[in-house]
Amino acid sequence: MTSSQPLDMTLSRVFGEVAETYHAARPGYPDALIAEVLSYASLTGPAGLPAVEVGAGTGKATLPFAALGTPMLCLEPDPRMADVLRRNAAAFPDVRVEVASFEDWRPDGTRFGLLLAATSWHWTDPATRWPRVHDALAPGGAVALFWNPMSVVDPALHAALAEVDRRHGLTLSPHAGLVSSYGDTPGHWPGMLGHWPDEECRRDGRFTDLRSLRIPERARYDTDRYLGHLSSISLYRALPDDLRDHVLADTAAVLDAHGGGIDIEHLHDLFLARRA
């Protein structure tokens, strides 16, 4: 993949197969990140305008923004994910859900004060995404793109899991990197190197006040929760059922042999920019 090529878009539709598991097992985003986005958006941004979320999924990022009173339009291309999102956001009347990809959606003259994408920006089309962001935002509106990759704390557990991945021909699994192997800057992790949005945004030339920051967070997953997390990821969803079962069984055996779980560090990496 190069910076001008999107990922295989067919993989972006596999999450709906396990929408409930996705919501239960996927990590969320810390309060500090939500506060950082809202603070940045309010600095010089237009007051009172709603936010639009690209690839909202089941609402892992939607809900904390909505809980703080942010009116939101959520774009989600998979109707199964959208159904779960509607149920999860039922308590927030200012959250609307539209089944649409970012590429198919038309703002029809509506302008937003904030556009956000939580672990979904890499599924959008590089050829059109920044013009679409520009068209969706009011002057001064903010864009917030963020991810939460995980890195493994224990070197011995990392080595054992790497052997499982090697045996089954997997690359870039969530546990592919040790904490010590990650760089100190946002976007410096396997799968993102060379694809951090800063360069693309600067080339567009219509955005200002570009910022990148990282918020680390330690967490522990027990074996069942971690297997649920893996089951919700496109790398594992794309495997034939029998192979996926073998991979998950081998992974579970390793985790159970190392204390029944995995200690990880989430690297909540955030990119911010503003329509000039």
Domain count, the chain: 1
| Residue 235 within a domain | no
- Percent of the chain past pLDDT 70, that is, above it, reads 90
Q: Pick the range with the lowest mean pLDDT from 15-29, 48-62, 129-143.
A: 15-29
| Residue 105 within a domain | yes
Q: Which of the pair, 249 or 149, is modelled with greater confidence? A: 249
Amino acid 65: pLDDT: 97
- Averaged confidence pLDDT in the chain: 90
43-55 pLDDT, tens digit each: 878 888 999 999 9
Amino acid 22: pLDDT: 58
Domain of residue 140: give its range: 9-150+180-219+267-275
Write down the H helix ranges in the chain: 19-25, 31-44, 62-67, 79-88, 129-136, 155-168, 198-204, 223-231, 234-237, 241-257
Phi-psi region of 233 (alpha: psi -120 to 50; beta: other; left: phi over 0): beta
The pLDDT of 164-175, averaged and rounded, is 94
Amino acid 213: pLDDT: 96
Amino acid 12: pLDDT: 45
Residues ≥6 apart with Cβ < 8 Å to 44: 140, 274
- Percent of the chain past pLDDT 90, that is, above it, reads 75
Instruction: Give me the phi and psi of 101, to 5 degrees please.
Output: -80, 160
| Residue 240 within a domain | no
120-132 pLDDT, tens digit each: 999 999 999 999 9
| Residue 162 within a domain | no
| Residue 253 within a domain | no
| Residue 187 within a domain | yes
Amino acid 43: pLDDT: 83
- CATH number for the domain spanning 63: value is 3.40.50.150
pLDDT at 172 over 60: yes
Length of the chain (residues):
276
Q: How confident is the model at residue 196 (pLDDT cuts 50, 70, 90)?
A: very high
| Residue 228 within a domain | no
| Residue 163 within a domain | no
